[in-house]
Chains A and B, each alone.
Chain A
Amino acid sequence: MTDHLSWETLNDLVDGVLDVNAAEAASRHARGCVTCGAALDELRATVATARALPGTVPPPDELWGDIRSTIEAGKVAYLPPRTAAPRGWWITPGRLAAAAVVLVALTTTLTGIVMSTRTGPRNGTVSLTTVAWQSSERAFQASVVELREQLDGMQGQLAPATVAKVERALATIDLAIAEAREALLRDPANAALTELLASNYRQKIGLLRRMTQLAS
């Protein structure tokens, strides 16, 4: 058992889906734990910020070009550094928490999108989908880049075979993300696609986060 609340529990607590006893236990822990309390506050702030976003915003003309450039950037092959970097002292709980907050923000945004696509008129939700998606994707990419840098710096701490496995798994996820993202661009109001793409994003950030924790 971990010393701190899991991200799932924190999310569930913020979303209000824990049962009464579990919610009480989690809240009690968060009140007495600086780390979990801070993470909880950040999650709540993120959710509040997301709720305060406008319902619809016209999509910018350069949207497709922006997303395309992101996809192209993702096709760059990763090469290991020539020399192993020193131990990742910069891997702080705060940075990991920040990555988790991005993940939660992404999930929150996507949940909002899904709810919109389920209930709203299709044409009216496309603009929300694309704009919210663009924003989420940027946050996701930033988080991935940061975790990726951390992992690269820690490769000396991990067995080469482990690194190879991680790289293969990440490549698999990247391919899935690319396919789902391309499909979502063709059909932006598809709720199932949005959920599937969000799942792939969670997989990538989750795997990177686990590996940085494993190496630290």
Chain B
Amino acid sequence: MTAARLTFAALSIIALATAPVAAQQKVDVRRPVTKDVSVRINGAFGSLKVTGWQKDTLLLIGSLPRDARLDPAVGSTGGAPARGAKFYIEGPATSGATAALELFVPAGATVWAKSGSATIDVTGITGGLDLNIVGGAITVNGTPRELNVESMDGTVTVAGSPNWMRVKTATGDVSLRGSCTDVGVTTVGGSVTLGNGFYERARIESVTGNVAFGGDLTRAGSLVIDSHSGTIGLQVGLKASLDIEATTITGTITNSLSSRRPTPGREGRGEDLALTIGTGEARATLRSFKGSIRISR
């Protein structure tokens, strides 16, 4: 290859690499806000990273497609820190390009975000989170006071210990690694995995999605799992003390926790199993129409 050709190739590569940058707008919004500011961000963003930090400042940075528009509305009077902020991203009419944004807010903020197909990553928020997507993925790290997530087929992964958590998906998988005082998960066909922590009140409903619970219930805690055809797996900790009541209408129950065997269900179909581990201070109710139920250590 000649030097001229090498030079041409190098220039072509540089041009290709810089073209997207030129076709984008830079976002840089900075405002003083209260520690518990409420922030709403809505519209055509493809990725959003939310970070809770120890500053009384809201910072929104990132890039917008060239034809997109960002409408910021930060509410403050007389120079006082704003208590609320709203951002709407209108996507370009002629392409499916979306914005990539990073939002920094005080850790105690409440953040509400809604988009179509998007990835949302949240870290370090101790206030409230309300996240809504159709597809993509949501990841939350930390201990938000309240966490409400709705997704169609986007996956939901939580690593931390929200105090209150509700997740609803159609086919998106849900995973929680941590603890939660009050958790409710509803899914049509997504899998649900809860483990590695303590739960006081947990209710999980699925239609076809498999459910696996491997956490510990607190004293007098309760766990209810309903699934139509998904497999239900309950992994009981060594120090667990709970009453377990399992029923499947046409499926089977496998108990590797004790020698107690399930009994035939009503009208000779399905199986029932009731057993007590320890002194039975907590309660687990497992119900399936035609999925199998597995109880193990």
Contact = CB atoms under 8 A, between A and B. Distances in A.
B129 A1 contact: yes
A173 B110 contact: no
A169 B188 contact: yes
Interface core residue of A165, A199, A210 (most chain B CB under 10 Å): A199
A121 to B, nearest CB: 15
A199 B146 CA distance: 24
B205 A210 contact: no
A192 B267 CA distance: 13
Interface in A186-216: 186-187, 190, 192-193, 195-196, 199-200, 202-203, 206-207, 210, 214
Interface stretch (B21-29, B62-70, B166-174): B166-174
Q: How large is the interface on A (under 10, 10 to 19, 20 to 34, 35 or more residues)?
A: 20 to 34
Nearest to B205: A199
B249 A193 contact: yes
B130 A1 contact: yes
Interface residues of B, number: 40
A203 B189 CA distance: 11
Given A172-B207, A202-B205, A206-B168, A196 B184 contact: no
Given A179-B289, A183-B249, A207-B188, A166 B152 contact: yes
A62 B233 CA distance: 41
Contact of B171 (A169, A200, A206): A169
Contacts, number: 93
Interface of A: 1-2, 6, 8, 159, 162, 165-166, 169, 172-173, 176, 179-180, 183, 186-187, 190, 192-193, 195-196, 199-200, 202-203, 206-207, 210, 214
Given A176-B229, A192-B247, 16 more contacts: A1-B112, A1-B128, A1-B130, A1-B148, A6-B148, A166-B152, A172-B207, A176-B208, A176-B228, A180-B249, A187-B267, A190-B266, A192-B249, A195-B287, A203-B205, A203-B207
Interface of B: 38, 110-112, 116, 127-130, 132, 134-135, 146, 148, 150, 152-153, 166, 168, 170-171, 184, 186, 188-189, 205, 207-208, 226, 228-229, 247, 249-250, 266-267, 287-290
